[in-house]
Structure 1
């Protein structure tokens, strides 16, 4: 049975629409949206703490859009540069570049444009400090971590963890136009959270990183050393979170909740240390606990600044 001209046109239109949707999803994936949402949330919480209340709608929209462009652009550069190792790792093999949906040139251009747009938007509508900090976070992740550290040292995620800690600085600068010790402490909280978060993932994805030749801590130093370091960072994280108490209006509530969350996260890391190195149940639990800990802590910061 022959296909009518109208049916052929309809099929072509349907195919074209599906292709556009596929490409749009690929570009969104390049920005690592789940990570970006977490980064933006920490920036928003920092805005609330800085304002000791709800920031203006203009500050929220322009600040978060500007930071989102920076985070998304840096993620795209990361995927562009890491396309070779992404292709051999199970968890990343279906990303837009290894799968061929987006070309390397397109990903690079996209990432650069988002980074420039972030700085221009924040500089012209918010303030230069927010723009500079957003740009610094972009360079830190795209260049310092991705290009200079990731493939060269097992301390890559420790030093590179500073990239993910920039959003509270940007959020604070958006509201106040300057930085303070409390903004720096919020930076430190994320910085100290990063090793347990990322190494938890690296422990149970160790074969992937070994195959790709990336010297993550479990690959370079082994599971036992990695787990000991995770406990140490969890202790420092608890101390850093409690150091934020003086800026909170509800100091007692903050101290209690920060203590509970921090001790709980520390106990998860200690339990991981006791697990045999050939098992991965607690490495997965530690990773997922880290995904709960950070938004919970920044929610507490925001609530106690508003109280």
Structure 2
């Protein structure tokens, strides 16, 4: 009697797996910057319905873009240690499921924001979604050492999303918030890349420390940190934030520049200050947006 081999089906994806697919840590950060812009635009807490629908739509859009990113990058995610536990790599979610979820999330977000908030906010959210997928993930990430510089614009859209949700229009303030995050992204991410070089080298991703070397990367970190501080100070002159913000931006900015200078002075064989700079950059940008609200 011939015994038929049993077909082992892949494990069923859980809600937790889909949450992981959306990169929740990054999504929360994007929602915080959008919420901060909403508070500044409204000079206080914005209408609850506007706030809830905007943050839900943004979160869904960002999560959908991340799902498409995991579908596209599943080959290199298997190689890099920090991405080997992602649900598409482990097989908890199939590539087809990730792609379908990502597209559906982006579509639902765009229509929902347009109907429930306004179409300018929906368009700004969609622009960030498309930029992250097509410009950063599919075009720049594997081809250019400027991948983070240009691609970082995708993470800078949320303040525009938050601002337009409240005011239904654009202005200098949201664009300066956009510029602030755009300029902050290279020294933030390159600090990570400096102590994760082996991961990126194995995956053949042309990050700046690999293509141009640690010395050039560290020098550029200092330059971008200074430009970030200038953008942060510039926000004060839009008359949307107070003197408290200006003083805080200068103090936090000097500390941020100080970290990048100390990183530049560190021997290229060491990564202690690369890690310190990476983690301080997170506290720096979070502190700025908190002070904006205050």
Residue 55 of structure 1: SS of its match in structure 2? coil
Q: Partner of 1:241 in structure 2?
A: 232
> Which of 8, 21, 24 is the equivalent residue of 1:30?
21
Q: Partner of 1:53 in structure 2?
A: 44
Assess if the C-alpha contact under 8 Å between 2:172 and 2:238 holds in 1: no
> Which of 187, 193, 211 is the equivalent residue of 1:196?
187
Residue 88 of structure 1: SS of its match in structure 2? coil
The worse-fitting range, judged by mean Cα deviation, of 63-72 and 241-250 is 241-250
Shift of 1:248: 4.8
For the pair 1:301 / 2:286, whether they are aligned, the reply is no
Q: Return structure 1 stretches of 4+ with deviation > 6 angstroms.
A: none
Structure 2: gaps spanning 5 or more residues: 1-10
Distance 1:129 1:236 in 2: 28
Shift of 1:46: 0.2
User: How big is the alpha-carbon RMSD for the aligned residues of Structure 1 and Structure 2?
Assistant: 1.1
* 1:100-179 map, 5 Å: 100-179=91-170
Shift of 1:247: 3.9
Q: Partner of 1:99 in structure 2?
A: 90
TM-score normalised by the chain length of structure 2 = 0.95
* 1:217-256 map, 5 Å: 217-248=208-239, 251-256=242-247
Q: Compared with structure 1, are the counterparts of its residues 250 and 215 closer, same or farther at alpha carbon in structure 2 (3 Å cutoff)?
A: closer
TM-score normalised by the chain length of structure 1 = 0.91
Shift of 1:94: 1.1
Shift of 1:251: 3.0
Structure 1: gaps spanning 5 or more residues: 1-18
Count of residues in Structure 1 that have an aligned counterpart in Structure 2: 284
Assess if the C-alpha contact under 8 Å between 2:40 and 2:240 holds in 1: no
Of structures 1 and 2, the larger Rg is shown by: 1
Distance 1:234 1:97 in 2: 35
